[in-house]
Amino acid sequence: MSAKGSAARPRAAVRVTGLGLGGSLLLLVLSGCSVEGVGKAFGHFGWPGKGITLQAHKMYDLWIASTIAALIVGVFVWGLIFWCIIRYRKRGDELPVQTRFNMPMEVLYTVTPVLIVAVLFYYTAIVQTDVDKLSKNPDQVVEVVAFKWNWQFNYRDGIGEEANTVASTVGSSDVIPILVLPTGQKIRFEETSKDVIHSFWVPEILFKRDVFPGNVRNTFEITLDKEGRYVGRCAELCGTYHAFMNFELVSVSPDRFNTFLEAKKDGATTQEAMAAIGYAGDAAYATTTEPFNTRRQKNSWNQRDAVSAGTGAAVTAGK
Ligand SMILES: [Cu+2]
């Protein structure tokens, strides 16, 4: 008995020390020390990067920190497994000491996973609440209207269905819809669909939300903190041309955004308004994706150049 007891105690001590080390590492990581650095070194653990909104950065940190925590636990467990395999490998026909109950170990086995889950839950709940938060007075309100198979973006003068659209951009078979938005401002999205369920998704925002038809008006807010042009997609299988239901988010400084919006309000086309903020010529159109050719002949899925009519319309139509 005493031999078993003294053997179990150092092992338990090693385990507790290991857990303590793991826990402090987890805390260190969750406190945001060098989360981005670690993420970069490991290809962001499958994510597109740190994201382009304040909300995305929080989700990114949570994802990387959780993955690191999981890896720490994983490495510790793998270590124990291999240590046991080697240390207690079969050396002869003699049976090893048969043990049954070890209360401290049993308690540790139960408490440790519960603690890990609790810590993950705590940080997840905080980040989720933060990402879902709606401000009382957003700086911009954009109504996202999805339909088979394109997007319309309405710039609104207030919150809710009763507000008015002051300007809008829309996509067609020939032109990818462009959504110009300012950095550093709280932007509220209000989503509605004309037909089936779609989903608004910009991979760099690290976020997507379903767009429902009928009375459901899904909302969310973001604050962009990086300028650039990013492809947006429909992330809910909505029909034949779902895969081609793309748009482009153009993130610009507030000054340029105001110029764009004023131009649109004055009746300019989306491309003229894009030119007004320095995106002239080809740059006035989407650069991250291109329109899908909807004029293909039937049963010609693998055929290139199967255009029957309308070639060349891409630059003029759909403004
Ligand atoms: Cu869709």
pLDDT of residue 2: 43
The predicted pLDDT at position 21 comes to 57
- CA–centroid distance, 155 to ligand 1, in Å, is 20
β-sheet bridge partners, residue 175: none
Kindly give the distance from the C-alpha atom of residue 228 to the centroid of ligand 1, in angstroms, as a whole number: 24
Nearest by Cα to 192 from 143, 249, 133: 143
d(CA 39, CA 200): 26
So what's the pLDDT on residue 143? Answer: 97
What dihedral do alpha carbons 40, 45, 46, 52 form, nearest 10°?
-50
> What pairing do the DSSP bridges indicate for beta strands 198-202 and 140-147?
unpaired
Q: What is the pLDDT of residue 298?
A: 56
**What is 144-194 written as a DSSP string?**
EEEETTEEEEEEESSSSTTS-EEEEEE--SSS--EEEEETTSEEEEEEEES
How far apart, in whole angstroms, are the C-alpha atoms of residue 168 and residue 269?
A: 10
Q: Say how far apart CA 255 and CA 273 lie, in whole Å.
A: 13
pLDDT of residue 315: 42
So what's the pLDDT on residue 313?
A: 43
Distance 172 CA to ligand 1 centre (A): 14
Which tokens in the block code for residue 234? Answer: 């429909």
- CA 227/CA 50 separation, integer angstroms: 14
Q: β-strand 246-252 against 178-182: which pairing, if any? A: parallel
> 241 C-alpha to center of ligand 1: Å?
8
Cis status, amide bond into 47, omega within 30 of 0: no
Q: So what's the pLDDT on residue 218? A: 96
45: exposed, middle or buried (C-beta count within 10 Å: 0-12, 13-18, 19+)? middle
Alpha-carbon distances of 213 from 148, 161, 170, 193, 238, rounded to whole Å: 12, 14, 18, 4, 12
The pair of structure tokens assigned to 186 is 């709280």
How much distance in Å is there from the Cα of 111 to the middle of ligand 1? 45
Ligand 1 centroid–CA 248 distance in Å is 15
Tell me, what's the pLDDT at 11?
A: 57
Alpha carbon of 101 to ligand 1 centroid (Å): 57
Would you give the end-to-end CA distance of the chain in angstroms? 85
d(CA 211, CA 192): 5
CA dihedral of 240, 209, 62, 35, whole degrees rounded to 10: 70
Distance 64 CA to ligand 1 centre (A): 30
- Residue with structure tokens 């899925």? 301
Strand, coil or helix: what is 209?
strand
Starting at the earlier edge strand, list the strands of the sheet with 207-211.
178-182, 246-252, 228-234, 198-202, 207-211
Digitized pLDDT (tens) for each residue of the chain, 319 residues in all: 344 444 445 555 555 555 555 665 565 555 555 777 778 888 888 888 899 999 999 999 999 999 999 999 999 999 999 999 999 888 888 888 888 888 998 999 899 999 999 999 999 999 999 999 999 999 999 999 999 989 999 999 999 999 999 999 999 988 999 999 999 999 999 999 999 999 999 999 999 999 999 999 999 999 999 999 999 999 999 998 999 899 999 999 999 999 999 999 999 999 999 999 999 999 999 999 988 766 655 555 555 554 444 444 444 444 4
Fill in the amino acid letter for 162: E
Find the farthest-apart pair of alpha carbons in the chain and give their distance in angstroms, rounded.
91
